[in-house]
Amino acid sequence: MSAKDIIKNSVYKALGGGTGLTSKTVIFILLMACLVGIYIFFVYKMSGKPAFYSKDLNITLCGMPVIVAAIMIAMQSNLLVSLGMVGALSIVRFRNAVKNPMDLLYLFWSISAGIIVGVGLYMLAVVLSVVMTVLLFAMGLIPNTKAPELLVLRGVFEESSYTVLYDAVRKHCKYYKEKARTTRNKETEIVIEIRTKEKDALLQDLGKMDFFAQINCICHDGECRV
């Protein structure tokens, strides 16, 4: 048999289907993909923020490795199936808004794990899962810098009032910066960004000043860069 005949036979075999994968191997691959998906399910459930947690998304993450692994098996078994998969997946578009950027990380992790298991690299899939788990929980232990608070003051100010105001702010705040000042109908509103550990003492001192009509201290649980 010539080399040309060997190439033809290999091409015909690829087009017609058939791989070296036995039924036991296919079942083992899908079982491994299922275990990896369940592992990702529990990691996402434990590490996800309660405000953004979605059980439907978590179930999707669990099933994604199995589906992707099955696709990889099919693409290895038949050249025509591979071309059909590429064509089908290229025209599919998903338009579901992602609420939390971390969900994208889990989606890529789930898809990557399915591809890795599908080609038979089981140890790589295990190492990937362990490394991702350690990385996610280690990064979660790093505390965020507390965002500054906003001091919103409204009242009728005179020149001396500003001096008294900023003396009190300077006394109790390690950082302060005036962000806005608006005057309307002889009433002035001042917004000051502050960082302080003596908020109660500051508010008490401000409450003793009779030129304030309203005092608000606004804080939020947002994140801030260092």
The Cα–Cα gap between 157 and 211 comes to: 6
Whether 117 and 65 have beta carbons less than 8 Å apart is answered as yes
The encoded tokens of residue 85 equal: 């998969």
Question: Angle 127-138-103 (CA atoms, 0-180°, nearest 5)?
Answer: 75
Whether 43 and 136 have beta carbons less than 8 Å apart is answered as yes
pLDDT digits (tens, 9 = 90+) for 57-116: 888 889 889 988 888 887 776 665 666 665 555 555 656 666 777 888 888 889 899 888
Whether 106 and 54 have beta carbons less than 8 Å apart is answered as no
- 210: exposed, middle or buried (Cβ count in 10 Å: 0-12, 13-18, 19+): exposed
**Is the pLDDT score of 174 beyond 50?**
yes
Half-sphere exposure at residue 150, Cβ-oriented, CA atoms within 13 angstroms: 13
Mean pLDDT of the chain: 78
Long-range own/partner contacts, residues 136-141 (CB < 8 A, 24 or more apart): 136/43, 136/47, 137/47, 140/47
Class (C level, CATH) for 145-224 = alpha beta
pLDDT-derived band at 187 (thresholds 50, 70, 90) equals: confident
Question: Which pLDDT does position 25 carry in this prediction?
Answer: 85
Could you state, in order of their start, the residue ranges of all structural domains in the chain?
Answer: 3-141, 145-224
